[in-house]
Amino acid sequence: MDDFDWPWEYNFPPFFTIQLHGKTKELQLSVWTNLVLKYFRHHRESQYTIGDEIVLFSNQQIQRKLSNDGILLILEELEKSGNAAPVDKKRLQWEIYWHPLDEWGNIIYQWASDNGMTNTVCTLYEISQGESSANEEFFGLDQSVLVKALKTLQAKQKCELMSFDDNEGVKFF
């Protein structure tokens, strides 16, 4: 937590006020979107609900915080690049993908074929919590994100999701 490398903008008070001037705003949004992805990646988290107070959007030291509208603006910016998606209709609950879903899919598929796991069935638990993926970036990945990533693979006929008992599994081709 403490070892997170904040950009200097995080201590720059106006960074927490959405800028009106076009170019400055563009720059501000790009710094924010990068920071959000970096933050969630660092903490290996994927879920965020607008209104939750987290350090990322609120800097106690300089007493500045980003408004909910500001947060929404940044998440919508991330949505454009496939790095975030709202989960509910009110667009309050969000998932953040520090890799876009299809990229996640490819990373997992690469891992599966590197480890000779094609044509066998493995559980989702094995993928995100198993020993053989302990060093992988997707280790500990949010279950719902994992399923969505695998679905992009399924759409490309590279795997098939299946459920048995109350466990979910996947077969890579």
Partner 1 sequence: MRRRAGVGAIHKQKVEAEKYKDKGIEIQDSQFEQMTKNMEVFRENLEEFAAKHKNEIKKNAQFRRQFQEMCAVIGVDPLASGKGFWSVLGMGDFYYELGVQVVEVCLAANHSTGGLMELEELRKRLVRARGQNAKHQEITNEDILIATKKLKIFGNGFVVYPIGRDRYMVQSIPGELSLHETSVLEVAAKQPEGCITEELLQKELNWNSFRSNQAIEKVVGSGLAWVDDQGEVKTYWFPSLFPGRTIQQR
What residues line the site for partner 1 (CB under 8 A)?
7-8, 11-17, 19-21, 23-24, 27-28, 63-65
Beta-bridge partner residues of 107? none
Shortest reach from residue 3's CB to partner 1, in Å: 14
DSSP letters spanning 72-83? HHHHHHHHHTTS
CA 45 to chain centre: 7
Which residue lies nearer to partner 1 by CB, 17 or 49? 17
Residue position matching structure tokens 């929404």: 72
3-state SS assignment for residue 53:
coil
Shortest reach from residue 72's CB to partner 1, in Å: 18
Which residue lies nearer to partner 1 by CB, 8 or 164? 8
Beta-bridge partner residues of 164? 167
Which residue lies nearer to partner 1 by CB, 77 or 79? 77
Shortest reach from residue 85's CB to partner 1, in Å: 28
Residue position matching structure tokens 């980003």: 66
Which residue lies nearer to partner 1 by CB, 42 or 65? 65
